[in-house]
Amino acid sequence: METVLKVLSDDECSRIHEETLKILSNTGVRIDTANGRRFLKQAGAVVDENTHLVRIPRKLVEDCLRQAPKDFYLGARRGDKTIPMNRGTCGVVMDGGAIYTYDAEAGVRRPATRDDWYMATRLGDCLDDIDVYWSVIDGCWEHTPGGTVAYWKAIFQTFSKHIQDATMNPEESRWMLEVFRIVFGSREEFKKTLPVSFILCPASPLIIEAEYTDAYLETLDWGIPVAVMTMPLFGLSGPASLISELILANCETIAMLCLIQSAAPGTPFIYAAAPSVVDMHSGRYGGGEVEHALLGAAVTEIARMYQLPVEATVGGTDHHVPCIQAGYERAQNYSLPILSRPDLLVAPGLLGGATIFSPEQLIIDLEVIRRCKRLSQGIGSGAEKWLGEVIDTLGPGGNYLTHPSTRKAVRSGEVYYSKVGLHGSFDQWVNQGSPELLSEIRDSIRDLLSSKQPLGLPESVERELELLEKRASESKRKL
Interval 437-464 mean pLDDT: 95
The Cα–Cα gap between 41 and 368 comes to: 46
Q: What is the pTM of this model?
A: 0.95
Confidence of residue 248 (pLDDT cuts 50, 70, 90): very high
Interval 325-349 mean pLDDT: 95
Q: Which residues contact 150 (CB under 8 A, 6 or more apart)?
A: 141, 142, 469
Give residue 476's pLDDT.
64
Give residue 1's pLDDT.
76
Residue 324 has pLDDT above 90, yes or no: yes
Q: What is the pLDDT of residues 199-245, one digit of tens each?
A: 999 999 999 999 999 999 999 999 999 999 999 999 999 999 999 99
Residue 104 has pLDDT above 70, yes or no: yes
Residue 477 has pLDDT above 80, yes or no: no
Q: What is the pLDDT of residues 258-274, one digit of tens each?
A: 999 999 999 999 999 99
Q: What is the pLDDT of residues 423-443, one digit of tens each?
A: 999 999 999 999 999 999 999
Residue 475 has pLDDT above 90, yes or no: no
Query: Which residue type sits at 225?
Result: P
Summary mean pLDDT of the chain: 95
The Cα–Cα gap between 204 and 270 comes to: 18
Q: What is the pLDDT of residues 113-133, one digit of tens each?
A: 999 999 999 999 999 999 999
The Cα–Cα gap between 281 and 464 comes to: 53
What domains can be seen in the chain, in order of their start residue?
Answer: 73-235+267-377 (3.20.20.480)
Residues found in the chain: 479
Backbone angles phi, psi at 58, to 5 degrees: -55, -45
Give residue 168's pLDDT.
95
Name the percent of the chain lying above pLDDT 70: 99
Distance of CA 417 to the CA centre of its chain: 26
Interval 408-424 mean pLDDT: 92
Q: What is the pLDDT of residues 4-43, one digit of tens each?
A: 899 999 999 999 999 999 999 999 999 999 999 999 999 9
**Helix spans in 159-239 (H):** 170-184, 187-193, 210-217
Q: What is the pLDDT of residues 133-186, one digit of tens each?
A: 999 999 899 999 999 999 999 999 999 999 999 999 999 999 999 999 999 999
Give residue 135's pLDDT.
94
Give residue 439's pLDDT.
94
Query: Which residue type sits at 438?
Result: L
The Cα–Cα gap between 187 and 221 comes to: 8
Q: Which residues contact 450 (CB under 8 A, 6 or more apart)?
A: none
Name the percent of the chain lying above pLDDT 90: 94
Residue 454 has pLDDT above 60, yes or no: yes
Contact 405, 390 (CB under 8 A): yes
The H or E element spanning position 252 is helix 242-263
The H or E element spanning position 208 is strand 207-208
